[in-house]
Amino acid sequence: MFPKIALDPILAADTGGTIIKLGVVQNGTVLAGKSIPAQSDRPLAERLPVIAGVWRELCREAGVAPRDCAGIGISFPSIMNPVTGRILTHFGKYVDAMEIDFKRWAKDLFGLPLTIENDARAALIGEWQYGAGRNCDNLVMITLGTGLGSAALINGHPLRGKHGQAAILGGHSTLNHAGAICRVCGNIGCAENEASTASLPLHAKSMTGFEQSLLAREATIDYMAVFRLAALGDRVCRQLRDQSLGVWGAFAANLVLAYDPERVLIGGGISASDEVIGAIREYIHQHALTPWGKVAVERAGLGDDAALLGCEWLGRNTTPAATLP
């Protein structure tokens, strides 16, 4: 067996809406890492000097110099031009990001090349390289959390499309043509608006019997509470649980029909429940047409580190996405 080649480290950032996870990553291992508050309601330009300072701190901790790193990989919650890396829009977070030339910033500050990628796609790449997607080149991943994320890998290539949005907006596909208008995308009855942590309180409070339910006494209305109280027999919570499981199953089945994967990975905080994984698997096997057999449905393996580890692959693979399928 040949020895594993020690590649130069990558500076990685998973830029979330609540926290920014930063790390020095090498060969699928976070040599040093730290999380900082995102302050995503503030201009991102204010956080860039902080991010740079933390990277320098982490490099000292890891015993490397920033100039000795191979590149920078950033996971970002938006759509970006696949060639230039410029952010194309915002979803209420880091509203100044479209004005920032990240590649120029990285070159001027560290002398390093930078690749920036959608956060769901980065998480899929991390799972593909180091997690539950290893040894599988046709994958779909969905994340169930505050919103609903998605990404696809076809024949070993992360699917990006002409404008960088291929496969990552599955959560905003229509599942209820008579549903409400999504506050994020403007679509009607999209999956995220039908069943996500962000939309859950509104759905719960609009249900008949909510005021008498155990859920009304909870300090926070989230899916942890819904599943716990549903198990105790609360009618409102059982209805919310069953409706949500149906939405997530249909969401995943639509991605199977669209991208023909061998494996579906389910990530995000809500996926911690075996009940969720089993319900989505059953829905796909019953309703998604796959005459070749049954697609594997598994829980993602890397948790909150998936996107950060995906940044390593991104930092080493700076080929313009326009050359990929």
> Is 3 inside a domain boundary?
no
Helix (H, G, I), strand (E, B) or coil at 153: strand
Backbone phi, psi, residue 96, to 5°? -95, 0
Is 59 in the same domain as 161? no
Is 201 in the same domain as 76? no
Are 76 and 118 spatial neighbours (Cβ–Cβ below 8 Å)? yes
Is 96 in the same domain as 236? no
Range of the domain at 97: 10-124+305-323
Is 49 in the same domain as 115? yes
Is 197 in the same domain as 76? no
Q: What is the pLDDT of residues 34-72, one digit of tens each?
A: 999 999 999 999 999 999 999 999 999 999 999 999 999
Q: What is the pLDDT of residues 185-199, one digit of tens each?
A: 899 999 999 999 999
Is 309 in the same domain as 208? no
**CATH code for the domain of 215:** 3.30.420.40
pLDDT given at position 267:
94
Q: What is the pLDDT of residues 145-163, one digit of tens each?
A: 989 999 999 999 999 999 9
Q: Is the pLDDT of residue 29 over 80?
A: yes
One-letter amino acid at 217 equals R
Q: What is the mean pLDDT of residues 254-270?
A: 96
> Is 271 inside a domain boundary?
yes
> Is 85 inside a domain boundary?
yes
Chain centre to alpha carbon of residue 198: 15
Is 64 in the same domain as 194? no
Is 46 in the same domain as 172? no
Number of domains in the chain: 2
Q: Is the pLDDT of residue 322 over 60?
A: no
pLDDT given at position 170:
94
> Is 200 inside a domain boundary?
yes
> Is 4 inside a domain boundary?
no
Q: Which residue has the higher pLDDT, 2 or 78?
A: 78
> Is 103 inside a domain boundary?
yes
Q: Is the pLDDT of residue 122 over 70?
A: yes
Is 142 in the same domain as 276? yes
In whole angstroms, give the CA distance from residue 172 to residue 152.
15
Is 179 in the same domain as 206? yes
Is 101 in the same domain as 151? no
Is 203 in the same domain as 96? no
CB burial string 146-185: b at 16+ within 10 A, e below: bbbbbbbbbeeebbbeeebbbbbbbbbbebeeeeeebebb
In whole angstroms, give the CA distance from residue 99 to residue 104.
12
